[in-house]
Structure 1
């Protein structure tokens, strides 16, 4: 149908080109348009645009997915903070063992406070 419309015109508009109709030029333009459309379709599939639009149309599913991802983030933050805190306490205990004069007393007080808090639980 597009080829028929282009054949009936003496002039056609191609991207950036206005010129007189030439026999092989419309096939090149149509092939170029077809390639661009295929490339656009592939890019849209890579972006998963259809899945995103489908998710936006179902607000309860969107809330469920966001709720689960929020729980996962919170759990990850809690575990990460616990591991980081344990590493810091371990490093402080090692520094106390070195018996550094000023730093050692300060760190010893911190370690005692942490151990007292852990012992209460």
Structure 2
């Protein structure tokens, strides 16, 4: 038979589970899944943001790489200098 203490413990556990579910925003997620247009819009915007971030990051890293190459070319290192000088000339012709 279930005692009063058991009932209180069960109610406390149910309250805890309820609080956790509310924190997870399950209702909002279910609403999002039920609305394909909204889901597509959100995913489209997220994809644009990711693409923009990748483009900006690649440009930044490429610029840093070119600056390092230009500085190495100015040092006139014997073997590396010739190779880097060729790369720098190629890059300068296309910039």
Q: TM-score, normalised by structure 2?
A: 0.92
Does the alignment pair 1:113 with 2:78?
A: no
Aligned-pair distance for 1:106? 0.8
| 1:53 maps to which of 11, 27, 30 | 30
Partner Cα separation in structure 2 for residue 115 and residue 54 of structure 1? 54
Higher helix share: 2
Partner Cα separation in structure 1 for residue 36 and residue 42 of structure 2? 10
Higher strand share: 1
Does the alignment pair 1:97 with 2:94?
A: no
CA RMSD of aligned residues (A): 1.1
**Count of aligned positions:** 95
Partner Cα separation in structure 1 for residue 16 and residue 88 of structure 2? 61
Question: Whose radius of gyration is greater, 1 or 2?
Answer: 1
- Aligned counterparts, 1:1-121, within 5 A: 11-12=1-2, 26-118=3-95
Structure number with greater CO (CA < 8 Å, separation at least 6) is 2
Partner Cα separation in structure 1 for residue 84 and residue 69 of structure 2? 6
Structure 1 runs (4+) greater than 4 angstroms displaced: none
Aligned-pair distance for 1:46? 2.2
Give the unaligned 5+ runs of structure 1: 1-10, 13-25
